[in-house]
A and B are shown apart, each in its own frame.
Chain A
Amino acid sequence: MKISISFYGNLIIHRTEANELKRQIQIPGGMTVSGLLVSYGISEKTVKAVCNGKKVDVRHILMEDDYLQFYSLNSGG
């Protein structure tokens, strides 16, 4: 199954290049946000996820063509 993902904030180390905004990946059907995070070695407690523009819980089950955004927030700027 194909979905799109974006990493923001401190998570940009999981991009393939610094300016990458979005990439498509293949995942097994029925995978949860939590499962995807595990595959990247990211602690689910520290990350926020938005799926198709809405904040979702890590138990959310991913569907074909979903667009998933992972972000962390800092307080500088």
Chain B
Amino acid sequence: MADYKGYNNKLLRVNLSSSDIRTEEIGEDVLRKYIGGTSLGYYYMLKEICSKIDPLSDENRIYFTTSPITGVRFSGNGRHSVTTVSPLTGGGTSSEAGGWWGAALKLSGIDAIAVEGVSNKPVYLYVEDDKYELHDADDLWGRSTGDVQNILKQRHGKNARVLQTGPAGEKLIRFACITNELRHFNGRGGTGAVMGHKKLRAIVVKNNRKALPVADQNGVGDFAAYLNRNMKDHPALAPHRQLGTQRFLLPTNAGGMLPTYNFRDGSFDAAEQVSGEEINRLYGDGSHTCYACAVSCKRKMKSIEGAEVDTSIYGGPEYETMAMLGPVLGIENPKAIVELNAVCNAYGLDTIAVGAAIGWLIEAMEKEPDLPVFEGVEKIGWNEPDKVFAIIEKIMNYDGIGALLAQGTRAAAVKAGGSTMDYAMQVKGQDFPAHEPRGKWTVGLGMAVNAAGADHLVAAHDVVIDHPGDAGPKFGGADLTDIEGIGLLEPLPAESLSAKKVRNFVYLQQLWMLYDVLDWCKFTGVPETRSYTLKHIVEIVEMATGWKTSIFDLMKCAERTINMGRIFNNRMGFTSSDDTLPERMFEPISAGPLKGHSIDKEQFEKAVELYYQMMGWNERGEPQFGKLVELGLEELAG
């Protein structure tokens, strides 16, 4: 490879059917064009999965990718992406996780892993510098994620980084996730079930290298020092260190956008009881961090006496989990939420999908109890945590109603019939996270058009940019200040899908995707926290790689990636009819400060059309030839 730094230029290809493991050069041209993360994942997906496949078949592949800045020592970049065909949606999914594993992979001398085929027995992959081995995993199969992590750390050393799926992945639960170090998750899309189907329980990485060669070592060192200084006292990051994402529950409730009772209401009477503040006060045990990150926002929990699962080893619930396993299910007991989080993590279940599926079930049994699927099923109502624990067990064992929910909310609603699809809170089969689009309409647009389905991390939320960029030092909050650089100057109302809002969304979707291409934590950057600027993003890529680049070049890569997700989904049979929202979004919120608010359906449909036009897609939602050529995708798309 020429002079590119920041990479190893190495993909590890693992064929589980033949047990063949080999390394391949990725290629300078591929790295320069696709950069890393989600983009590199979709590059391989488009190249190697050429027709519609069953996600849980031998033909599916799963890609673990990093970026040129992964593992370079500064805050927010120990992350990695996992890209595969989702068992939940049938389309492409790319899920990012923080933690330590991505950095360890990169420092071990590999940029990406491609896994294909299916093993005939449980295995795990062990990577240490130039050593790549498949080990028997019979003794791991069926065990909790906590047990497996313990066994593998005892076997390979404390500094071995363990990424794994859990018992849920083994059992092919469609919303099984992947975890690394028990506290960080590739949560969405059912990537864990793909690992489980391949009988690949874990990937253990041990690196003996401490640093990666970069083009400008001094520059990177200065930047890391600047970030550390800035983040330590940064007014938006200090709260993030104190409470992490748990601090979002109360403001979201006050704003009337806290999903409650399966998204029927927008605020929860017991919000203070289940708030991050209260959970932290009762069970908090400080914080921990991801690789090289000065923020340290991840919550630690104490062991709760009498709990079935040790709550201290799985990390505390994030905002999403607290809301989906709390207000969405009407649960008012903070202890139950912390324990439910630990149970899901021990099994390797996506907590968002668990909350959405059970929220749907409660509402369906309340509204349409006579549907044939509910015959003989014990009724569950709001605020019944004991029954929620029991249903999770049923899901894990495909027992009764659990077998229905294990397929995901959309599949359950299809089978249940009646009007249950109207309040199945999902898009393309992927469940809504704990965000209420009726108070921030482009979040709804993002959920609808996103390749992987409902996701809150598609673009900055409207409420972040509905006010001018003069937050002031005492606020330190998210606003327009640092995204002026991409031409977004005008604050626009959150509850609108005007043409200007759609344009804002197009730009912000690209900026957000850039974070996933670089596998850089969104909490550390603009416009969320302003601890660094758009210019810093360009500089750090240049310092790592030695390239000459620009925000234009990087955002083009992000736009290319969004188009790659779209092309892949079209290949899997998706059309514009999949770019929609559940009917509930067009109906008024029942209670809370936003009572009566809904998304205007006509505006929404026009916005989707306008989005296609701005993206250079036809009315079927397919990128047009000119757009493909402009992005250099005409060959991959073919």
> B313-351, CB under 8 A of A: which get 1 and which 0?
000001110000000000000000000000000000000
Q: Contacting chain A: which of B157-165, B175-183, B237-245?
A: B237-245
CA distance A6 to B255 in the complex (A): 13
8 Å CB interface, B248-288 against A:
248, 250-252, 254-257, 272, 275, 277-278, 280-281
| A73 pairs with B245, CB closer than 8 A | no
B434 nearest in chain A by CB position: A77
Q: Among the listed B277, B280, B318, which residue makes an inter-chain contact with A77, where contact means beta carbons less than 8 Å apart? A: B318
Contact of A75 among B243, B461, B470, B474 (CB under 8 A): B461
User: Are B255 and A73 within 8 A (Cβ)?
Assistant: yes
CA–CA, A41 and B245, complex, Å: 24
Instruction: Kindly identify, within residues 60 to 77 of chain A, every residue whose CB is under 8 Å from any CB belonging to chain B.
Output: 69, 71-77
Known A-B contacts A12-B242, A21-B272, A43-B475; the reply to A75 vs B255 at CB < 8 A is: no
Contact: B476 with A10, CB < 8 Å? yes
- Chain B's interface size range is 35 or more
Q: Which residue of B lies closest to A73 (CB)?
A: B463
Q: How distant is the Cα of A11 from the Cα of B478 in the complex, in angstroms?
A: 12
Q: Is the CB of A73 within 8 A of B464?
A: yes
In the complex, chain B residues whose CB is within 8 Å of the CB of A50: 254, 593
Q: How far is the CA of A10 from the CA of B251 in the complex (A)?
A: 9
Q: Are A10 and B434 in contact (CB under 8 A)?
A: no
CB neighbours (8 Å) of A53 from chain B are 593
Q: Which residues in window 37-71 of A have CB below 8 A to B?
A: 40-43, 45-48, 50, 53-55, 69, 71
Which residues of chain A (1-45) have a CB below 8 Å from chain B?
6, 8-14, 18-21, 40-43, 45
A19 in complex: contacting residue of B277, B471, B523, CB < 8 Å: B277
Q: Is the CB of B250 within 8 A of A43?
A: no
Contact of A42 among B255, B467, B475 (CB under 8 A): B475
Q: Taking the complex as formed, is B190 at the interface, i.e. its CB lies under 8 A from any CB of chain A?
A: no
Shortest distance between the CB of B515 and any CB in chain A (Å): 11
**How far is it, in angstroms, between the C-alpha of A6 and the C-alpha of B272 when the chains are bound?**
11
Question: For B523, what are the chain A residues with a Cβ–Cβ distance below 8 Å?
Answer: 76
Interchain CB contact under 8 A, A77 and B456: yes
Chain B residue nearest to A75 in the complex (CB): B461
The answer on a CB contact under 8 Å between A72 and B254 is: no
Most buried by B among A13, A19, A20: A19
* B280 and A18 form a contact (CB under 8 A): yes
Enumerate chain B residues within 8 angstroms of A43, measured Cβ to Cβ: 470-472, 474-475
Determine the distance from Cα of A72 to Cα of B461 in the docked complex, in whole angstroms: 12
Q: How far is the CA of A14 from the CA of B473 in the complex (A)?
A: 12
* Contact present for A9 and B247 (CB under 8 Å): yes
Most buried by A among B255, B275, B433: B255
The residue that B319 contacts in the complex, of A11, A14, A48, A77, with Cβ under 8 A, is A77
> B528 to chain A: which residues have CB within 8 Å?
74-76
Q: In the complex, what residue of chain A is closest to B472 when comparing beta carbons?
A: A43
Which residue, B251, B275, B479, has most C-beta atoms of chain A within 10 A?
B251
Closest chain B residue to A10, Cβ basis: B477
Alpha-carbon distance between A12 and B456 when the two chains are bound, in angstroms: 23
State whether A45 touches B470 (Cβ < 8 A): yes
Does B381 reach chain A (CB closer than 8 Å)? no
Asked whether A47 lies within 8 Å of B251 as measured between CB atoms, the reply is no
**Do B475 and A69 touch across chains, with their CB atoms under 8 A apart?**
no
Given contacts A43-B472, A73-B463, A75-B461, contact A21 B251 (CB under 8 A): no
- Closest A-chain residue to B461, C-beta based? A75
Chain B CB within 10 Å — which of A6, A9, A45 has the most? A9
Question: Are B245 and A11 neighbours in the complex by a CB distance under 8 Å?
Answer: no
Q: Which residues of B are found within 8 Å of A42, using beta-carbon distances? A: 472, 474-475
B302 to chain A, nearest CB (A): 15
Quick check: A18 and B277 within 8 Å, CB to CB?
Answer: yes
CB pair A76 B471 closer than 8 Å: no
Q: Does B236 contact A (CB under 8 A)?
A: yes
Complex contacts, A48 vs chain B, CB 8 Å: 254-255
Instruction: Flag whether B156 is at the interface (Cβ < 8 A).
Output: no
Known contacts A9-B239, A72-B251, A75-B464; A47 and B475 CB within 8 A of each other: yes
B474 proximity list for chain A (CB < 8 A): 13-14, 40-43
Instruction: Tell me, in angstroms, the Cα distance from A47 to B248 when the chains sit together.
Output: 14
Q: Indicate which residue in B257, B435, B468, B475 contacts A72 across the interface (CB closer than 8 Å).
A: B475
Give bound CA distance, A12 to B255, whole Å: 16
Cβ of B460 within 8 Å of any chain A Cβ, yes or no, is yes
Contact B239 A76, beta carbon cutoff 8 Å: no
Interfacial chain B residues near A73, Cβ < 8 Å? 248, 251-252, 255, 257, 461, 463-464
Bound-state Cα–Cα, A77 to B477, Å: 15
Q: Which of chain A's residues has its CB closest to B466's CB?
A: A73
Cα distance A71–B443 in the bound complex, in angstroms: 19
A54 to B251, CA, bound (A): 13
Contact with B522, one of A20, A69, A76 (Cβ below 8 angstroms): A76
In the complex, whether B457 has a CB less than 8 A from a CB of chain A is yes
In angstroms, Cα B467 to Cα A71, docked, is 13
Could you say which residues of chain A place their CB within 8 Å of the CB of B470? 43, 45-46
Chain A residues near B320 (CB-CB < 8 A): 77
User: Is B235 close to A, CB under 8 A?
Assistant: yes
Decide if A8 touches B457 in the complex (CB within 8 Å): no
Separation in Å of the A67 CB from the closest CB of chain B? 11
Taken together as a complex, chains A and B put the C-alpha atoms of A12 and B569 apart, in Å, by: 42
In the complex, the answer to whether A10 meets B235 with C-beta atoms within 8 Å is: yes
What are the residues of chain B within 8 A of A18 when measuring CB–CB? 242-243, 277, 280
When distances are taken between beta carbons in the complex, the residues of chain A under 8 Å from B435 are: 75, 77
A72's closest neighbor in chain B, by CB?
B477
Q: B452-495: which residues lie under 8 A (CB-CB) from chain A?
A: 456-457, 459-461, 463-464, 467-468, 470-472, 474-479
Q: How distant is A5 from chain B, measured CB to nearest CB, in Å?
A: 12
Is B478 a contact of A71 with CB atoms below 8 Å?
A: no
7 new A-B contacts, CB < 8 A, other than A21-B275, A74-B464, are A8-B250, A9-B248, A21-B277, A46-B475, A73-B251, A74-B478, A77-B245
A-B contact pairs, 20 of them (CB 8 A): A6-B254, A18-B242, A18-B277, A19-B278, A20-B277, A41-B474, A42-B472, A43-B471, A46-B471, A46-B472, A54-B593, A55-B593, A72-B251, A74-B461, A75-B443, A75-B456, A75-B459, A76-B456, A77-B245, A77-B320
